[in-house]
Structures are given as structure tokens and as C-alpha cells.
Amino acid sequence: MEWVNAIVQGTLLGGLYALFAAGLSLIFGVMRLVNIAHGDFIVLGAYLGLSVTTILGIHPLVALVFVVPCMAMIGYILQRGILNQTLGGDLLSPLLVTFGLSVILQNALLEIYSADPQKMNAGALETASVSLGDLSLGVLPLLTFGIAVAVIAALQWTFYRTALGRAFRATSDNQEIAQLMGLNRRHIFGMAMALALAVTAIAGIMLGIRTSFDPSVGGGRLIFGFEAVIIGGLGNLWGTLAGGVILGVAQTIGAKIDPGWQLLAGHIVFLAILAVRPNGLFPRVSG
């Protein structure tokens, strides 16, 4: 029963990792960009949530109403102002520019909020639980998982059912021809980054309610998100959710064996999958 519990808790944890990963998967799918600062943007989302909740005295989940549009705006400006200039050439410049962004963001957060770990207070939601047979499930992890499923369904719908999604797919397939068909590639990329950071804002708030965070934790979140994307297969959003779940389960089972093994077990499962299935479990596009 303990093991079943570990697997169920790991699955729910996987929802959070899928939220970390969804933005990463989205921008890679649209513009083949890997944002090294992605984890730091998750942490930025958490800090923005912290500021909004302390200033306005509102519940962290209500803070989403402010933080999501705010992050989306940052994403659009960032893409059009800086990142668009790095695309089209070699890999090096987007990689190094986002790496520079990561260092700037981390130190800016350190300067503003100090290195003290912070946490958002979600009141009764944090400790509430429901019983399911012998299992006791936290309402917060359940909610996080539900949000992850909803976010991925919404992204999937946007991709395949809306004009914006069609534009995303068109630019992803062939930038030049999409441009000839009257799509402004720079704007489309801006919209993709806006959408990605909007999802990142949700990830940041859920992270900030679940655990304490400080400016240095971004790198670790990037790695979890990245592992979920690779395990699930590039360009496959539902695969990313599966990847997050596999990672989460690996970590909780690892922690069950030995608390020091939690993170290591996740990384080892990732490397094992990379060795056996280099394109992930459910690949859709090739990198």
C-alpha cells in the first residue's frame, strides 16, 4: 500500500512537472528555441505571485488573474525585443542570450527579494485532503494535476483548433512560406512566448504554494521540465504530461528507498530512457 501511495503521490507531483515543461515544449515546438532561463521565469512567476498576495492580501490562486497577464506581457516584449534577434542563425546565440538572461534574472530576484526562502500562504488548501480507500490525497496536489491537464488540453486546443494555433503550426513547419502567406513571424513568435510565460506563471504559483522557493532554484526547475519534455518526446504535449508523471513517480519511489535518492532516481530514469529511446517515448517532431 505504501508503494501504491508513492506512485499516486508521484503521479500528482508529475502534474507540477508537466506545468514546468509545457512552456518549454511550446516554444521549442513553434520556434526551436530552448530557453535556458525558463526555470528562472518559473521562479519569477512565484515571486510576482508572492508580491501580489502580500500587497493585495488575496489568495495565491486569485493572484493568477494578475500574474498570468503580467508574465504574458513580459514574454511578448522579451521575444520581440531580444529573442527574435537571436533566431535564424546558429544555436549558440539563443542559448547564450537566454543563459545571460538566466543569470540576470536570478541576481535581480536576489537583489529585490534576498536569498531567504519564501512561500505563499494558501490557507486551508495546503493541508486539506480527501480519502480514497486507504489513500489520503492532498487537495492541492490534486488541484495542481487537474490544472496541468486543463492547461495541456487548452494548449492542444489552441494549437489545433484556433487561427493562432494554425499560425504556430505554419511557422513551425516553414517560416519563410508562412511569412509569404502573410503571417508576421516576429509577432507569432512573440505570441508563442507570451503563451509560454502565461503557462509558466501558473507553474510558478503552484510551485510557490507547494514548497518554499528562493532565487537559486530556477536551474533545478528547468531541468525537471526539460526531462519531462525529453521523456515524453519532443513536440508532443500529452507526452510531456506523461513524461512529468514518469519523472514524478521515479522521484517519489526513489525517495521511498532512500531520502537522498529522490532527485538522483529521477535523473537516472531520464538517462535510462534517453539510452533506450533517444527520441522519448512518444515523439512527434525531430529536433
Chain residues in the site for other proteins (CB under 8 A): 33-34, 36, 82, 85-86, 89-97, 99-101, 103-104, 107-108, 110-111, 219-220, 222-223, 226-227, 230, 260-261, 263-264, 267-268, 270-271, 274-275, 278, 287
Q: Least distance (Å) from other proteins to the CB of residue 227?
A: 7
Identity of the residue, 94 or 208, whose beta carbon is nearer to other proteins in the bound complex: 94
User: Which residue, chain included where needed, has cell 534577434?
Assistant: 85
Identity of the residue, 19 or 230, whose beta carbon is nearer to other proteins in the bound complex: 230
Identity of the residue, 106 or 144, whose beta carbon is nearer to other proteins in the bound complex: 106
Give the three-class secondary structure for 182.
Answer: coil
Which run of H or of E encompasses 101?
A: helix 92-113
Q: What is the C-alpha separation between 24 and 63, in angstroms, rounded?
A: 23
Q: Least distance (Å) from other proteins to the CB of residue 234?
A: 8
Which cell numbers hold the place of 205? 504559483
Q: Least distance (Å) from other proteins to the CB of residue 31?
A: 11
Q: Least distance (Å) from other proteins to the CB of residue 166?
A: 26
Which cell numbers hold the place of 54? 502580500
Residues 6+ apart with CB under 8 A from 209: 60, 61, 119, 120, 122, 125, 126, 140
Identity of the residue, 87 or 137, whose beta carbon is nearer to other proteins in the bound complex: 87
Q: Least distance (Å) from other proteins to the CB of residue 247?
A: 11
Identity of the residue, 65 or 268, whose beta carbon is nearer to other proteins in the bound complex: 268
Give the three-class secondary structure for 135.
Answer: strand
User: Which residue, chain included where needed, has cell 515523439?
Assistant: 283
DSSP-assigned letter for residue 213: B
Give the three-class secondary structure for 233.
Answer: coil
